[in-house]
Structure 1
Amino acid sequence: MGWLFLIIAGLLETAWAGLLKSMAGEWSLGRGAGFAAALVGSMWCLGLALKHLPISIAYPIWTGIGSVGAVVLGATLFGETASWRVLAGVSLLIAGMALLASDSV
């Protein structure tokens, strides 16, 4: 269950980051509420994951999921450029998360 909570926490982190970007300069109650719900949900799920996983593995993977998700959201929803350097960095993040995850199995 720890891994499931960790993945949900990472996806919710991606959601609140995307909502934060969408609110830049034009705040709305709906997006603000969505941002707050995603932020609280992410922290709550991370806390549940930490009952089963060591923080030395869970926290970096949580932030990695959020980082990779933010790059994907930036490129797909916000028209940000995904240069070869960005893609190489994301690849290294994913490789690092895979190494961390393999240490806990």
Structure 2
Amino acid sequence: MSWIVLSVAGLLEIAFAFGMKWSAGFSRPWPSVYAAITGLGSIWLLTTSLRSLPVGTAYAVWTGIGAAGTAIVGMIFLGESASVARVVCIALILSGVVGLRITAGAIA
């Protein structure tokens, strides 16, 4: 269950990043509220997952999901560069996340 909570926290981290972009430096009220809610929700779920997951593993997975997911969504929806080098680097991040999950032991 902790891995599911951590995964949702990572997805909220992606939503938070785009909320910050959408809020234009927190100058637009509703997008700013969206960014604050998704950011706080992400941190709360990360904290919840830390009850049974090692902090180093959980934090690395959370940031990996957020970083890779934000880059992928940026490429798809914001027209950011999808060069081969960027895609390979994102694949490396995701393989690290998967590797951390596989080597973490039993499902918590």
TM range (shorter): over 0.9
Aligned pairs, number: 105
Q: Which amino acid aligns with 1:28?
A: R
In 1, distance between residues paired with 2:102 and 2:50? Answer: 17
Displacement of 1:11 in angstroms is 0.3
Identity of paired residues, percent?
A: 35
TM-score, length basis structure 1: 0.94
Structure 1 unmatched runs, 5+: none
- Residue 61 (structure 1) shift: 0.3
* CA displacement at 1:26 relative to structure 2: 7.5
Counterpart of 1:45, as a letter, is: L
Unaligned runs of 5+ in 2: none
Letter in 1 for 2:93: L
Query: 1:62 matched to which residue of 2?
Result: 62
TM-score normalised according to structure 2 size: 0.91
Per-residue CA deviation, residues 20-70 of structure 1 (Å, 9 max, x unaligned), is: 122236831110000000010000000000001001210000000001111
In 1: Cα distance, 2:74 partner to 2:28 partner: 20
Q: Which residue of 1 aligns with 2:77?
A: 77
1:5: Cα distance to partner?
0.9
**Map 1:7-86 → 2, pairs under 5 A:** 7-24=7-24, 27-86=27-86
Moved over 6 A (4+): none
Change (3 A) 1:9 1:17: same
Q: CA RMSD in A?
A: 1.3
The alpha-carbon distance between structure 1 residues 48 and 75, as it changes in their structure 2 partners (threshold 3 A), is: same
- Asked if the contact 2:23/2:29 (under 8 Å) is kept, the reply is no
Q: Offset of 1:97 from its aligned partner?
A: 0.8
